[in-house]
Amino acid sequence: MAPIAVGDTIPEGTLSYFDENDQLQQVSVHSLAAGKKVIIFGVPGAFTPTCSLKHVPGYVEKAEELKSKGVAEVICISVNDPFVMKAWAKTFPENKHVKFLADGSATYTHALGLELNLSDKGLGVRSR
């Protein structure tokens, strides 16, 4: 699959998260992005050193700047369950804008063609 480019229509999918009332929610990716400029980035795994120290911090740090340029949502997706994503989000106390959404079974990651099989490392299917 070719990389996703600006203006491409992304596939529909459903992701999970805990809302501000600590209620488990499921959300359609198309509803998140409808009529808005959004940034969706996927990482291989919550709590992994590279994702926690290199991938996510830049988005957290630049979220205000991105929003000032018209980005309505900054969304981090990982092949983890929503409980893990909720706990991982709490490790970024300075975060005000990045949403952490779960793709627990990698269904959406597969729809994007961005799966990465790390079974040989004991990690199963992850996102590139």
pLDDT at 89: 97
Number of H helices and E strands in the chain, helices first, is 5, 7
pLDDT of residue 7: 77
pLDDT in tens, the chain (128 residues): 556 777 788 899 999 999 999 999 999 999 999 999 999 999 999 999 999 999 999 999 999 999 999 999 999 999 999 999 999 999 999 999 999 999 999 999 999 999 999 999 988 999 98
**Backbone φ and ψ of 23, nearest 5°:** -105, 135
Evaluate whether the domain defined by 39-127 bears CATH number 3.40.30.10: yes
Q: What is the largest CA-CA distance in the chain?
A: 42
pLDDT at 8: 80
4 token code pair: 């996703």
| pLDDT for 2 | 59
Q: Where are the domains of the chain?
A: 39-127
Q: Which residues are catalytic?
A: 51
